Structure 1
Amino acid sequence: MTASLHDLRKPLAVQPAAAAAKLLVLPKDKVKADALNFYKFGHGNGETTHWPALDPFWKWLKKEITICTGYPNHGKSRFVHHLMLIKAARKQWRFLLYVAENEDDFYVDMAQMLVGRTANYAAGHDRMTMDELTQALDWILEHFVVVTAPEGATPKALIDEFVRLDKTDRAAGGKGFDGILIDPWNQLSHEFATREDLYLSEQLSMLRRVAKERDWSVWVTAHPAGNVKDKNGKLACPDAYSISGGKMWNNKADNVLAVYRPAFPDPMTELLVHKIKKQGRVGKPGTLTLTYNVPQSRYYPEVGDDSHPLDSVSFNAPGVPRKLTDLPPSSFDTAAQEMPWN
């Protein structure tokens, strides 16, 4: 991607975008139609994560901004990638991503998560097969497009590239993309002459505009400004206010999540849902306890779901019990039965 520094030194009050803004009245017919569609069909409700244990807390809703924070190595990026992979596998969603800290390993990591088994040469016979890896990579490359940004690239430059890729895909007859990820925010270039919270307000407003215009689910991961410890010297759970410019993150985002490992490096993980703007449609604040299964590269809720949402996809091969059609017929069978999930 080619990107240049975006000039943010002008006072916010004279930004051209603000001067060109038009004030509009919501059309009565649209208001009524939206309300009736919500009543009759549930339009405007969030879409399932395909995780019954997670759905009460957070669901997918396009045109929203979701912030995920957490300390380094606590798994916030992998958790977001996990959610996106499940949505892509179950509903064929496609994503544009900036993953500055995971560019080299992203596609292999996603393949391991999709198959549920490592690709590492050091694992010997316990790793996935070459065919499983290549088939998984081919599928992931169709659903996840990673954009690399040069030194000095700004959020505006990155978003412009995302929009260009979406338009190009649609012009070529594709369905475009369903969501974007900026992971992490602090790896982009941020220059401002005004207060940080005012700069952040402008940037998050830009993300909101593009989310609505492109019908995207927008995700941003952001590191806490520093390690915050409680009175016992233990790392405290981060929230929106832990991020640099925190108040504005909480004000402007629709949803704020935190991935927290209270007994790090123990794999037990807490997903804390700090803010849900549209409670009743998207989710509710609360805590979900997860365990990260290292061999499978997957998160599992500690309580609630016996199976994983990726168990039913064709790529799944984590050493789970084989499908019934892979087993020889028993003496009670007249023929092997084709199962509905095959």
Structure 2
Amino acid sequence: MDRFKELGIDTHGRTSGKMKTKCPWCHAQRTDKRDKSLSVNLDTKLYLCHYCGAHGSAAIYAGKGRKLGDPLVKFPTATGSNSSCPPTEKPHGDPEQGALTQKQIEWCRDVRHIPPEVLVEAGVAFASISMPISGKEKGWEKRDCLCFNFFENGELVNTKFRDSQKHFKLLQGARTIPYNIDAIRDTPECILVEGEFDALSYMAVGRTDVISVPNGANSQLDWLDELSESHFEQKQVIYLSVDTDRKGRELCRELSRRLGVDRCRIVTYGEAYKDANELLVAEGPDALLKALEDAPIPRLEGTFTAEDLRERLHQLFEEGYTSGVELGIPNLDEIMRLETGRVLTVTGIPGHGKSDFVDEIVLRLCTRQDWRAGYFSPENTPIEYHHAKLAEKLLGHRFRKDFSTEEEFARVVDYLSQRVWHILPDGDFTLGNVLSKARELVHRHGIRVFVIDPYNYINHQIPAGMTETGYIGSFMNSLARFARLNSCLVILVAHPRKMNKQYGTQKTEVPTMYDINGSANFFNMTDYGIVVDRQDEMGIVYIHVEKTRFRNFGTKGNAAFCYDVTNGRYSPCTPPPEPGMQVQPWKGAKDLFSSEGWI
């Protein structure tokens, strides 16, 4: 704290946090010698006197010819380059930040209603840097900017620069984290907003446990992967106070899914305002606090009203029924389209490729929809073997050094590491424990599809007095509830009972969904039901879609595929009219997977 000492600011030996102390510039003239009018943020090194207005930064460099109290601070820069910047500037900038100008302080106070002391506590600073400009005269131009500094564990990791025309710029190559993240590490509650001024608005009314999500209303929440356990695991209440436009609503839905709808409370601002700062400016601090207080508590589990469903109803009102997402396989997309919040049950004769086709579905959802997946698949062990199978589907050839390069190996491993997780609970394969681990994958990594392969590997604990049919009904209810609460597609692989031979032949009968071993509830209580049927003599795999619960997601029908044993891919084909005739692959079928640009 030598730099504070150089300024004459007594920090009483403290090295972190926020405090108030006596102002060295006006204290001698004060009649009340006990008044501590100087606010100091020991983490950001900024200070502000509420009596004389002195403000600046203690992070000065001694011996540089600057005057005592010169509010100039030079922050570390990120690595990276940007060839489009002016040649006189360093590529990513090496901006020197100083205390806000009086004009900026007055603008924040009068226009945004953010008090000066809040700006100091939040570490908002000033810099003059080159900014990208739009319009007819595109290029770069020197602009005076507000600097929103992003600290993690007290260290600066990024800065967002904002000029008076709402142009933004981040340090290139720096880490992307939420704004003010340190403020919520150990708090029982927190508030999530969509912009820095919204965060400052809550600070202005006394709620410092607020963060602004990075990149605005972006529903890609990769930053949650590394912060969920340390910053959100123990939260009792999480307020989602994002914008009320379409993108804001999408962000709100995804945050609720990841963080848990049971502890999220949605803040609204009335029809006239779209965010927290607009409400603060128009109605004042009490109105913003009232909006926070009025955020509804999670509804009683199992009960719903039209008001609870207002957002979904309005989406239906505006857009109509969703048709689900496609897999990019034309003949199958015609009869089945998938949606989160649903259960898909897959069956078929053992050895006909149920698991392999499920992998096809999962990877297509990852590559086309940018979903993430979780597996409980004890049959697919060791897990590295399963990953090798997935890699072959992605690469389009064998997963061996004779067929792949080291670069391909690195890329496919990196891709799978960011998209697929396996769980193998230590010795406890009960449904409750498996779904608990899956819920952690939703929370920490945002998975949207979860596979249980197969049903018989679950440690089924049928209560005394309950029939197998009743138990399977309860089991399917648990899957449906998990799918609904976590907005996941749950895929269940279930084996059929022992099938009979077709009359007069040695060929096994093709099972139906009603033939799954145990109960017709597998068919009755699933949303989608498909049967994988491999016809070896014809060289065709048929996918029989036997159920789609709602007609907007498809209809019953069959889709024929050729299976490539070298890479595990399924390609649509036209079956021959008679056995022995040649199968006709669909034009472009072999490119269906690779054309998605999975890396």
Relative to the length of structure 1, the TM-score reads 0.77
Matched-pair contact (CA < 8 Å) for 2:472–2:519: no
2:429 alignment partner AA: A
Q: Give how far 1:296 is off.
A: 2.9
CA distance in 2, matches of 1:85, 1:198: 34
The correspondence of residues 209-248 of structure 1 with structure 2, limited to 5 A, is: 209-233=481-505, 234-248=507-521
Partner of residue 351, structure 2: 73
Matches within 5 A, 1:98-247: 98-104=376-382, 105-120=385-400, 124=402, 127-169=403-445, 176-192=446-462, 193=464, 194-233=466-505, 234-247=507-520
Aligned residues of 1:68 and 1:220 also touching (Cα < 8 A): yes
Question: Whole-Å Cα distance in 1 between the matches of residues 567 and 530 of structure 2?
Answer: 24
Asked if 1:41 is matched to 2:312, the reply is: no
Residue 336 of structure 1 aligns with which residue?
none
SS in 1 for 2:459: coil
Match of 1:299 in 2: 570
Query: How many Å separate the matches in 2 of 1:263 and 1:190?
Result: 34
1:262 Cα deviation after fit: 2.9
Partners of 1:299 and 1:59 in 2: CA distance: 17
Question: Which residue in the other structure is 1:16 paired with?
Answer: none
> Structure 1 pair 228/131, CA: closer, same or farther in 2 (3 Å)?
farther
Conserved? CA contact 1:240–1:246, under 8 Å: no
Q: Are residues 239 and 152 of structure 1, via their aligned partners in 2, closer, same or farther at CA, if it must alter by over 3 Å? A: farther
Match of 1:250 among 507, 523, 535: 523
Asked if 1:282 corresponds to 2:553, the answer is yes
Percentage of pairs with the same residue: 23
Shift of 1:70: 1.2
Helix, strand or coil at the partner of 2:442? helix
Using the TM superposition, give the Cα deviation of residue 302 of structure 1 relative to its aligned residue in structure 2, in angstroms: 0.6
**How far off is 1:211 after superposition?**
0.7
2:364 is equivalent to residue 83 of structure 1 = no
Q: CA distance change for structure 1 residues 142 and 244 in 2, over 3 Å: closer, same or farther?
A: same
Answer yes or no: is the 8 Å Cα contact 2:430–2:458 preserved in 1.
Answer: yes
Q: Displacement, 1:267?
A: 4.1
CA RMSD, 1 decimal: 2.2
Which residue is equivalent to 1:14?
none
The structure in which a higher percent of residues are helix is: 1
Which structure carries more relative contact order (alpha carbon 8 Å, separation 6+)?
Answer: 1
- Separation in structure 2 between the aligned mates of residue 287 and residue 130 of structure 1, nearest angstrom: 40
2:330–2:572 contact (8 Å) kept in structure 1: no
**Alpha-carbon offset, residue 61 of structure 1:** 0.5
Amino acid in the other structure paired with 1:26: T
Any gaps of 5 or more consecutive residues in structure 2? 1-299, 575-585
Deviation at 1:268, TM superposition (A): 1.4
Residue 81 of structure 1 and its aligned partner are, at CA, apart by 0.6
Judge conservation of contact 2:341–2:483 (CA < 8 Å) in 1.
yes
* Structure whose alpha-carbon radius of gyration is higher: 2
The one-letter code matched in structure 1 to 2:558 is T
Q: What secondary structure sits across from 1:261 in the alignment?
A: strand
- Give 1:337's aligned residue: none
SS of 1:205's partner is helix
User: Aligned letter for 2:491?
Assistant: W
Q: Could you tell me which amino acid in structure 2 is paired with residue 235 of structure 1? A: T
* Cα deviation, residue 242, structure 1: 1.4
Q: Distance in 1 between matches of 2:556 and 2:394?
A: 29
Q: CA distance change for structure 1 residues 313 and 286 in 2, over 3 Å: closer, same or farther? A: closer
SS in 2 for 1:246: coil
The answer on whether the counterparts of 1:254 and 1:275 sit within 8 Å (CA) in structure 2 is: yes
Are 1:269 and 2:556 an aligned pair? Answer: no
Unpaired segments ≥5 residues, structure 1:
1-20, 170-175, 317-342
Deviation at 1:37, TM superposition (A): 2.7
Code of the residue aligned with 2:375 in structure 1: it is L
Q: TM-score, normalised by structure 2?
A: 0.45
CA–CA distance in structure 1, aligned partners of residues 519 and 442 of structure 2: 30
1:252/1:305 Cα in 2 relative to 1: closer, same or farther (>3 Å)?
A: farther
Match of 2:374 in 1: 96
Superposition pairs of residues 4-19 of structure 1, within 5 angstroms: none
Q: Deviations over 1:120-149 (max 9, x none)?
A: 46xx4xx12222122101101210001113
Q: What amino acid is the match of 1:215?
A: S
User: Which deviates more, 225-234 or 110-119?
Assistant: 225-234
Distance 1:313 1:262, change over 3 A: closer
1:97 CA displacement: 0.6
Letter matched to residue 132 of structure 1: E
Change (3 A) 1:29 1:72: closer
Cα separation, 2, equivalents of 1:240 and 1:152: 28
Are residues 1:54 and 2:325 paired? no
The answer as to 2:297 corresponding to 1:26 is no
Q: Give the whole-Å Cα distance in 1 for the aligned partners of 2:431 and 2:332.
A: 30
Higher strand share: 2
User: Which stretch shows the higher mean deviation, 56-65 or 222-231?
Assistant: 222-231
CA gap 1:112/1:25 in 2 versus in 1, 3 angstroms: closer
Q: Secondary structure at the match of 1:81?
A: helix
Supply the distance in 1 between the matched residues of 2:314 and 2:301 (Cα, whole angstroms).
28
Amino acid at match of 2:387: Y
1:177-224 Cα deviation digits (max 9, x unpaired): 111000111112113132111111111111111111100011000111
Give the equivalent residue in structure 2 for 1:331: none
